[in-house]
Amino acid sequence: MKTLIAKFALFTLAVLTIGVAAASAQITTQLTFKVSQSFVVGNTTLAAGSYIIRPVSGTDQSVVEIANVTGKPSVMAEVELVSPPAGQTGSQLVFNKYKSVLALSQIFPGGGVQGYQLTPGHPEKIAAKAETPTKQTVAATTK
């Protein structure tokens, strides 16, 4: 009986250790960036300016907020966690640039940490039917 309890306790400790390691690997970094033209996040168009990106707590890393540094406007976007590109060192954002649409596509905090893939919105889906985008990278600063 004591052996069974000891095995159960060891198993529970192992599961908790893995859970803590996974939780500490989540992205909690806040990024700032500046863009010189309007851009699309999901179905929302944001004006040129300086913005802050931060994960929304309580969403298991599936939603980020992109807000002007003044706080308004802001938009929440659904995201999926993705691996960073090989050799990436600094924080960066990847935009899909079409003729009439600049759409935020990916966010990478840097340092080999997982990034975010944004769900495309209607404006980007319409633009993608007519043309292939070029990738445009913008540097971001970790805050």
Instruction: Give buried/exposed letters for 46-73 (b at 16+ CB in 10 A, else e).
Output: beebebbbbbeeeeebeebbbbeeeeee
Q: Into how many domains does the chain fold?
A: 1
The mean of the pLDDT values for the chain is 82
Domain-located, residue 20:
no
Domain-located, residue 16:
no
Domain that holds residue 100: 27-142
Domain-located, residue 32:
yes
Domain-located, residue 101:
yes
Domain-located, residue 7:
no
Domain-located, residue 41:
yes
* Rounded distance between C-alpha atoms, residue 89 and residue 91, angstroms: 7
pLDDT value of residue 134: 94
Residue 62: both structure tokens together: 């599936």
Model pTM score: 0.75
H or E segment and range at residue 16? helix 2-24
Q: Provide mean pLDDT across the span 22-39.
A: 72
Domain-located, residue 18:
no
The string of DSSP letters for 36-62 reads SS-EEETTEEE-SEEEEEEEPTTSTT-
